[in-house]
Amino acid sequence: MNDLIPLMVIIPIIAAILLNLFNKNNSTVKILSFVVAIVLPIIPLLANYGTYYFGGHAPLTDYGTFLSLFPNSILNTLHIGITYSYGSMQQILIFFLFIIAFLAILTTIGERKKISGTYMFLMFMGLASVVAMLLSDDIFHLYIFFEIVIIAQVGIVLASNHKEKYETAMKYMILGSIGGPMLLTGIGFLLALVGSVNITDIVHVVKNGLINSYSPIFLLSFGLIFFGWLYSVGLPPFHTIKSDMYSKATPSGSALLQTLSVIIFISIGLAIFRIYNGISYVGTFIIFFSLAAMILSISMALTETDFRRIIGFLAVGELGYLGIGFGIGTKLSLTAALFQGLNEIIITALLFIGFGTTLYLSKTSEINKLGGLIENNPKTGVMVLIGGFALAGVPPLNGFQSKVMLIQSALDKGFPELAIIMILISIVTFMTFIKIFHSIYLKPKPKDLIIEDNKIPKSTTFTMGVLIIMCIVLGLMPSLVVNGFNAFIGGLI
Amino acid sequence: MSDTYSKISDSVNKFKNKLKKDQNTGDNVTSAMAAELTIISTVLISAIMLRHLNIILTVLIILGLGLYLSTNTPIIGKIRREQNDSLDRMTFYVILTLAILVTTIYWGIIN
């Protein structure tokens, strides 16, 4: 069933095009997006692990008759066409990605009377792009989809009602005009040096010493690709604009934006790790920028008064944990990083959608103007509280499991300082969350606060319920996903 | 008479607006202090990791950082000012990071 592998990209793209065509027909857009969103999570469960060669261009090793033409040659293993690799890591992440996308789409349908086909187009295009990034073994192919997902992210922000959305989107695009080309230039240097854009081929060439790992061009390609990665995921100096993007989108849009960012983080991060693992200081660079993201984001989150911005900063700060896992570079740390990435997708979706209900009822996101919402909204309040506990790493929720693994991996590698910082940041994250939770739900209600008599849509409550179940199940039974991640990383190192 | 009244009224309104913009509630002050302590502690702990390179260098850097951080408090205000949503500042830091990154990787390490 390897033919199902490209369908994980093709189906969302076709759905996106159709939704854009039926833009004006509200009910068609709703039905089509719902049906596609519910079908998508089934595909990764049915697909077999393996590789898919576009155009049937398999390496020569797959055709025994050709092997005699180039005996013992590197040409036999070279990948001629675009290759998709599908393993346990891709299966887990794509499955959960499709589930989160389904929940985000369900929430959007529930909260809006009229659904824009163009908005759904952007959601599905973003989804298809990150799935392609996860599957692709071709770094140029990865770059193409990276650019598409950036445009989709900007579009998702533009679809909100926020008055500053155009300014933020424009700033993101301007900064992208620095980050994107740098990434492409880095890939260009790599191509010039190795003669291939297939990651497995590049790794093969580097590991067999066919190029000098410390040659200026190879090092420069690392610097440029690394810089592009910082832009794509929102690590410093891009953390301010990334959190700004999250705060300007609709709640379900923000949930999807963060999901897309985490998947970009993992796919480009793994490519960097595989190609440049031989350079001794790569881990140091990743750890430095991850620590900066954690420290700067948490300190900014503490001093903000807009809860959407606070969650945005917390989401960016949490990416630092993933980075530390990649930077430490051991089997345990990489497994923990992937697990943390998955947890972050679930938890931040829960928080964006949960706190989004406050915006839905009060039309303000300024915590100084809010208060007493626990009276109007007790169920949601409790659900958000559980989400906050998971974010801060309170047992027995999923965030606790992945953070403990990360701390353990830092201690094993001989970096107790990293372990201490991760614990400190978790404590401060908890404090920040409690601050916004108190301000929104527990503080006495301000006299001038008008709460609309709208009921929270059932789809939103359902979404939050499913996300909480995921947090609890993954917290109690982490082996459900950790074994899959571990097997994938085992094949990588 | 009406001029005097409008002058007084304007000054009262200005004062009121100033108070309105100032959101230094107890929550905010506590948060700023927590952020200040978080930055100082995490930066100092991070600096200890330099021990993997050189112990003497680590001691000197920690002493220098400690001195700098303690004489420049409150540092969170400066960090907030530098990390606002202004495109100018964002672009400045982006270009600065790119320059430092490429310089360190290309010239700093290979030579």
Each domain of chain A, given as residue ranges in start order, spans 283-493
Distance between CA A17 and CA A130 in Å, rounded?
A: 17
Flag if B28 and A305 touch (Cβ within 8 Å): yes
In this complex, the residue of B39, B90, B106 whose CB is nearest that of residue A241 is B90
Nearest to A238 by CA among A306, A432, A246, A268: A246
Same-domain check for residues B44 and B94: no
Residue numbers in A near B84 (CB within 8 A): 240
Give B20's pLDDT tier (boundaries 50, 70, 90).
low
Instruction: Tell me the shortest Cα–Cα distance from A345 to chain B, in angstroms.
Output: 25
In this complex, the residue of A241, A285, A295 whose CB is nearest that of residue B42 is A295
Q: What is the pLDDT of residue A94?
A: 96
A137 touches B: beta carbon within 8 Å: no
Q: What is the pLDDT of residue A103?
A: 94
Same-domain check for residues B39 and B92: no
Same-domain check for residues B21 and B61: yes
Q: What is the pLDDT of residue A268?
A: 95
As to burial, measured by CB atoms within 10 angstroms (0-12 exposed, 13-18 middle, 19+ buried), residue A407 is buried
Q: What is the pLDDT of residue A346?
A: 96
Same-domain check for residues B65 and B105: no
Question: In total, how many domains does chain B have?
Answer: 2
For each of chain A's 493 residues, which pLDDT tens digit applies?
A: 588 999 999 999 999 999 999 988 889 999 999 999 999 999 999 999 999 988 877 776 666 666 566 666 666 677 778 899 999 999 999 999 999 999 999 999 988 888 888 999 999 999 999 999 999 999 999 999 999 999 999 999 998 888 889 999 999 999 999 999 999 999 999 999 998 899 999 998 898 888 888 888 999 999 999 999 999 999 999 999 999 999 999 999 999 999 999 999 999 999 999 999 888 889 999 999 999 999 999 999 998 889 999 999 999 999 999 999 999 999 999 999 999 999 999 999 999 999 998 888 888 888 888 888 898 888 999 999 999 999 999 988 999 999 999 999 999 999 999 999 999 999 999 999 999 999 999 989 888 888 876 788 899 999 999 999 999 999 999 999 999 999 999 988 7
A212 to chain B: closest CA residue: B110
How large is the ipTM?
0.89
Q: What is the pLDDT of residue A76?
A: 65
Q: What is the pLDDT of residue A73?
A: 65
Instruction: Tell me the shortest Cα–Cα distance from A277 to chain B, in angstroms.
Output: 15
Distance between CA A282 and CA A295 in Å, rounded?
A: 20
What region, left, alpha or beta, does residue A50 occupy, with left being phi > 0 and alpha being psi -120 to 50 degrees? left
Instruction: Tell me the shortest Cα–Cα distance from A474 to chain B, in angstroms.
Output: 30
Distance between CA A285 and CA A240 in Å, rounded?
A: 20
Distance between CA A178 and CA A489 in Å, rounded?
A: 32
Q: How far is CA A443 from CA A359, A427, A440, in A?
A: 17, 22, 7
A298 touches B: beta carbon within 8 Å: yes
What DSSP string runs through A241-267?
Answer: HHHHHHHHS-HHHHHHHHHHHHHHHHH
Asked if residue B41 is part of any domain, the answer here is yes
Residue numbers in A near B73 (CB within 8 A): none
Asked if residue B79 is part of any domain, the answer here is no
Which positions ≥6 away from A361 have C-beta within 8 Å? A373, A376, A377, A451, A452, A454, A456
Same-domain check for residues B12 and B60: yes
Asked if residue B94 is part of any domain, the answer here is yes
Nearest to A175 by CA among A263, A236, A120: A236
Same-domain check for residues B39 and B65: yes
Query: How many residues does the structure list for chain B?
Result: 111
Distance between CA A165 and CA A172 in Å, rounded?
A: 11
Asked if residue B98 is part of any domain, the answer here is yes
pLDDT per residue over A244-284, tens digit each? 999 999 999 999 999 999 999 999 999 999 999 888 889 99
B85 touches A: beta carbon within 8 Å: yes
Residue B17 has pLDDT above 70, yes or no: no
Mutate to test the interface with A, among B38, B45, B95 (most CBs of A within 10 A): B38
Buried b (16+ CB within 10 A) or exposed e, A74-92: eebebbbebbbbbbbbbbb
Distance between CA B105 and CA A273 in Å, rounded?
A: 16
Q: What is the pLDDT of residue B4?
A: 74
What DSSP string runs through A156-195?
Answer: HHHTS--TTHHHHHHHHHHHHHHHHHHHHHHHHHHHHHHS
Residue numbers in B near A421 (CB within 8 A): 42, 45-46
Same-domain check for residues B7 and B40: yes
Distance between CA A440 and CA A434 in Å, rounded?
A: 10
Asked if residue B8 is part of any domain, the answer here is yes
pLDDT per residue over B66-108, tens digit each? 999 888 888 888 888 888 888 999 999 999 999 999 888 877 6
A281 touches B: beta carbon within 8 Å: yes
One-letter amino acid for residue A369 of the chain:
K
Same-domain check for residues B53 and B106: no
Residue-number span of the structural domain to which B90 is assigned: 85-111
Residue B27 has pLDDT above 90, yes or no: no
Distance between CA B5 and CA A1 in Å, rounded?
A: 83
Nearest to A248 by CA among A164, A348, A151: A164
